[in-house]
Amino acid sequence: MKEFDFSVFRNVTITGTDMNSLSTEESSVLYRQAEYCQAMTEADIGKLREIVSEDMTFTHMSGLKQTREEYFADIDDGNLDYHTIGIENPAIEVNGKRASISFTSVLNANAYGVCGTFRITGTHHYILRDGTWIAVNGIQ
């Protein structure tokens, strides 16, 4: 069984799950989600491009919809400044080359000039492409 070192994520916390009860596949999806969140906090656009599919779109709490590149531009220029991200109560489902992770995201951020901690519950979807989990809009 492959071991995943979640301690490498300085700005990401995972709570509400027994990490030892996860399968290797579930751990790999959770690890990828943590990589995604860490890249958001570091404004690492290169890493985000590796993780997020080119056709991904984002919908904010306000209802604003953005393409991947519009979203990344807002992270890059500091309009979206993520400090820490909590992954709370993750529920992971893996079905072959498709996976989903539902959780509450606890964002400590400055989002378009509004600072605070934001709690957002949702589901992220992934597909396995060349052995790597890639974030997609939905199960494709």
How far from chain centre, in Å, is Cα 77? 19
Q: In order of start, what are the domains of the chain with their CATH numbers?
A: 6-136 (3.10.450.50)
Residue 126 belongs to what H/E stretch? Answer: strand 114-129
Which residue(s) pair with 95 in the sheet? 98
How far from chain centre, in Å, is Cα 11? 12
Asked whether residue 37 carries a pLDDT value surpassing 90, the answer given is yes
Helix segments in 42-90, DSSP class H: 45-51, 68-76
Asked whether residue 140 carries a pLDDT value surpassing 70, the answer given is no
Tens of pLDDT, residue by residue over 86-97, are 999 999 999 999
Whole-number Å distance between alpha carbons of 59 and 88: 20
Q: What is the pTM of this model?
A: 0.94
The three-state secondary structure class of 16 is coil
Asked whether residue 1 carries a pLDDT value surpassing 70, the answer given is no
Confidence band (pLDDT; 50, 70, 90) for 16? very high
